[in-house]
């Protein structure tokens, strides 16, 4: 099994319809890994308080924002998510010339959650992540296994106004501002024009003999592998993803993005030992009076999953049916040596979806019938969200249970019919 993971996309006006920014990500992870969708309300914290991330403890900030996250259920951070201010972040594994440390530090997925909890704009999230990166570093096993799977990280960060691509190599980093059009990232460095960067990014490259200091500085070319099979494979997905965005440019909607994430021919909807285990699409209206809408699957293979809507309002109902069991200090992730066993982390939706997927694979008729039912459910919810965005009217009392209610409706579709 060759680890390879994730594709993240953003489309900004004029590439989209309705003066909206559309964000999307597929999380490609080990096929037996459970991805959960969880919500954490905004919180205030006492001076001197610490926050325990996946492997290390760091200083907490006085206030954290409300977040909704799609994450591998064994860790603290997230593969992707959004906060109450309309900031969305997705991360990617990247490999380059810089060696990757096995030392435990912050995971890229921890940095996703920390960026969402601490920043109310995309630009501020770039600052939060890079400051934490420089202070604590990145590292540690990114897979729930005694086999090491380590990498550096890139991030696509969006809000209602703009997007940023942030790419890292150990503690060095480069950022690119995206003001309009389309942009995507896969498992490779892609920034050529550096809008912001680590102050030593050029000097370090010169000291390693990667850049002569004379030709124009190109971050991706300088810090990337020259040529490897892994880079060739990810470049294919990166190019195919960009083609799909360009194909729909000028008329991209949330449904368009869902279609891109479901595309198997391009490899974006990944199958095999590493597969798409969770997906997310967000609508970020540029009109601040309108709510942002975030859709999550919480289940593997977006082609056989439902994108379910979530809107931030006060007093959100906890997302119990997409939350995995908690094992506390007895969790094998917490004990050293780590990962000596793997507990059953399946949440209720995952179990019902898993049973339904087996039925769909066993019969073409069942596959077709069930797929029709869940796509109708998804369209019904998408239409409801579009009505809210068009009318500007949001029933806050209904939004409290919006995601949880849709999960319950999806589960009912998976139950055996008399």
Look up 6 and say whether it is catalytic. yes
Half-sphere exposure of 276 (CA within 13 A, CB side): 28
What CA–CA distance (Å, rounded) separates 33 from 36? 10
The answer to whether the bond into 291 is cis (omega within 30° of 0) is: no
What CA–CA distance (Å, rounded) separates 224 from 50? 35
Phi, psi of 218 (to 5 degrees): -125, 110
Residue with tokens 């279609």: 259
3-state secondary structure of 26: strand
What CA–CA distance (Å, rounded) separates 116 from 282? 14
**Cβ neighbours of residue 335 under 8 Å, at least 6 residues apart?**
none
Which of 6, 53, 142, 292 is catalytic? The answer is 6
Residue with tokens 């949440």: 347
The answer to whether 97 and 208 have CB atoms below 8 angstroms apart is yes
Phi, psi of 59 (to 5 degrees): -65, 135
Residues annotated as catalytic are 6
């Amino acid at each position: 099994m060759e680890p390879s993971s994730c594709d993240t996309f953003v489309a900004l006006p004029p590439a989209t319809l309705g003066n909206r920014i559309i964000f999307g990500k597929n999380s490609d992870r080990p096929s037996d890994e459970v991805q959960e969708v969880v919500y954490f309300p905004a919180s205030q914290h006492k001076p001197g308080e610490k926050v325990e991330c996946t492997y290390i403890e760091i200083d907490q900030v006085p206030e954290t924002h409300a977040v909704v996250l799609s994450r591998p259920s064994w860790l603290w951070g997230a593969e992707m998510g959004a906060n109450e201010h309309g900031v969305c972040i997705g991360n990617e594994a990247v490999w380059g010339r810089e060696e990757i440390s096995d030392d435990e530090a912050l995971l890229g997925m921890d940095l996703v959650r920390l960026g969402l909890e601490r920043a109310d704009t995309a630009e501020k999230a770039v600052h939060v992540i890079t400051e934490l990166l420089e202070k604590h570093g990145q590292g540690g096993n990114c897979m729930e296994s005694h086999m090491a799977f380590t990498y550096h990280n890139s991030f696509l960060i969006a809000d209602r106004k703009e997007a940023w691509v942030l790419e890292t190599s150990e503690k060095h980093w480069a950022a690119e501002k995206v003001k309009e059009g389309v942009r995507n990232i896969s498992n490779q460095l892609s920034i050529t024009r550096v809008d912001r960067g680590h102050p030593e990014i050029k000097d370090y490259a010169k000291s390693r003999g990667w850049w002569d200091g004379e030709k124009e500085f190109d971050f991706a070319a300088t810090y990337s592998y020259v040529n490897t099979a892994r880079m060739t494979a990810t470049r294919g997905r990166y190019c195919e993803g960009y083609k799909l965005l360009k194909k729909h440019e000028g008329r991209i909607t949330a449904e368009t993005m869902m279609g891109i994430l479901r595309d198997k021919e391009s490899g974006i909807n990944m199958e095999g030992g590493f597969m798409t285990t969770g997906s997310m699409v967000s609508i970020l209206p540029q009109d601040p009076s309108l709510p942002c809408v975030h859709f999550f699957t919480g289940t593997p293979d977006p082609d056989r999953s439902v994108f379910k809507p979530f809107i931030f309002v006060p007093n959100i109902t906890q997302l119990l049916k997409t939350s995995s069991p908690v094992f506390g200090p007895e969790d094998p992730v917490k004990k050293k040596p780590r990962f000596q066993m793997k507990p059953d982390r399946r949440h209720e939706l995952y179990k019902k979806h898993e049973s339904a997927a087996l039925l769909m694979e066993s019969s073409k008729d069942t596959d077709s019938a069930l797929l029709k039912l869940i796509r109708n459910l998804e369209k019904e919810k998408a239409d409801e969200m579009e009505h809210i965005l068009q009318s500007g009217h949001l029933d806050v009392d209904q939004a409290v249970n919006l995601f949880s209610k849709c999960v319950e409706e999806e589960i009912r579709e998976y139950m055996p019919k008399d």
